[in-house]
Amino acid sequence: MDNHSKQQIYTKLHKHLKDLPWYVEEYINYKKRKLSAASLLNYVHDYKIFFNWLVTGNYYSGELKNLPLELLESLTVQETEQFLTFLQYELHNKEVTMNRKLSGLKSLFNYLQNIAETRDLQPYLKRNVMAKLEFNDIKESMETTANKMEGKILLGDEYEQFRQFIAYDYGKLYKDNKKLVNFHLRNRERDTALISLILGSGLRLSEVVNLNVDDIDHSKFTARVIRKGNKEQYVYFSKQAMDDLTEYLQIRSKRYDIEKTNKALFVAAAMGPKGTPRRLTARAIEKLVEKYANAFGKPSVSVHKLRHSFATRYHNEINDVPKLRRQLGHSSIQTTMIYTHINNEDLKNAVDKMDMPRFDE
């Protein structure tokens, strides 16, 4: 989405927020770093429906923007269930739409109860009725799940563009911020290798975290991992990932001042004068990916979505579900079958095939 389109959405967003209570605007501002402008606008639309319902249902008689927190705290489960009934029978919302609106309300109420706090360090809400409501039980088809996934993964040219962005363009984007540029220059080989490995193998987050230097076979392009069920497996990865890993390993010891006894493949710099380099944690890797995804303009991309991106590209270019199942470490082939339902013309028409070696049975 270009900047002009984003600005138009934000303009609409702020217009709607003027009609809503102050704590809704505070929550939306809190979420701005984590959600797209379009998602925030959808949240606000759904909140207006809920607050208007409170007015028309005689739970509140004033202006929407003055609706007090105390009212939200006093709502009973039975009363809020009536709102869901209103969505279903008055607005004719489908179950999936009802779930979306309930999810937005749950997120708002969770913020008011567990995150926001007053000057005297008290939560805005001491009681959260939305936490007691359950979502509709919906069994999605593989096609539905695949369609949802398709908009949240890297497709076509984005695959290599994201890698290039981490290796080079992130620093250019923030060239006026010396602190960010220096941090990127210090870690770009590590970050590129890490992302490239996931994109070139489909490894899980926990598997990447636990990798040691000795787990990498430079001649066979494999990584030794412990999969679910404590099963050892050698997982193939792409030549590009090997190239990026090699570049990182050339600077790893000196750049991060690592002792020979530290075997962790991906490490973080020492913290403080007496600190020592340590293995990158799962949360650190999640934040790393989140940082680059937001700057890249695709905030939906996460570590797990990188795994999905690999699986989607592998299936489209190699089309062998049993081998993909083994590569991903799925216990059931039904889990792997979802990637057969993601249809993307950019991938089908890609000129350059993946450089990953085909697997032998």
pLDDT band at 361 (very low <50, low <70, confident <90, very high): very low
How far apart CA 27 and CA 34 sit, in angstroms, is: 12
In this predicted structure, which of 51-55, 84-88, 92-96, 290-294 has the lowest mean pLDDT?
92-96
Q: SS3 breakdown of the chain: % helix, strand, coil, rounded to 5?
A: 60, 5, 35
CB 41 within 8 A of CB 13: yes
Residues in the chain: 361
Mean pLDDT, residues 149-169 taken together: 82
Q: Which two tokens stand for residue 132?
A: 């007691």
How far apart CA 214 and CA 233 sit, in angstroms, is: 14
Is 307 one of the catalytic residues? Answer: yes
User: Integer distance in angstroms from the first to the last C-alpha of the chain?
Assistant: 43
Catalytic residue among 228, 231, 239, 287: 228
In this predicted structure, which of 76-80, 225-229, 257-261, 291-295 has the lowest mean pLDDT?
225-229
343 vs 210, higher pLDDT: 210
β partners of residue 278: 268
Q: Percent of the chain having pLDDT more than 70?
A: 85
pTM: 0.55
Please report, for residues 5, 24, 320, the alpha-carbon distance to residue 51 in angstroms, rounded to integers and kept in the order given: 28, 11, 51
**pLDDT digits 0-9 by tens, 18-31:** 999 999 999 999 99
How far apart CA 69 and CA 355 sit, in angstroms, is: 57
Is 353 one of the catalytic residues? Answer: no
Is 33 one of the catalytic residues? Answer: no
DSSP designation for 112: I
Is 190 one of the catalytic residues? Answer: no
Amino acid making up residue 196: S
pLDDT the model gives residue 358: 42
Is 339 one of the catalytic residues? Answer: yes
Q: Where are the beta strands (DSSP E) in the chain?
A: 216-217, 222-227, 231-236, 267-268, 278-279
C-alpha dihedral, 104 to 105 to 107 to 108, nearest 10°: 120
pLDDT the model gives residue 103: 92
**pLDDT digits 0-9 by tens, 1-15:** 446 667 888 889 999
pLDDT the model gives residue 143: 52
Is 330 one of the catalytic residues? Answer: yes
**pLDDT digits 0-9 by tens, 274-310:** 678 899 999 999 999 999 999 998 888 889 889 888 8
Catalytic residue among 184, 307, 308, 323: 307
CB 171 within 8 A of CB 185: yes
pLDDT the model gives residue 312: 82
pLDDT the model gives residue 95: 85
> Where are the domain boundaries for CATH 1.10.443.10 in the chain?
158-348
* Domain 158-348: CATH architecture, name and number where available: Orthogonal Bundle (1.10)
**pLDDT digits 0-9 by tens, 104-147:** 999 999 999 999 999 999 999 999 999 999 887 755 544 544 45
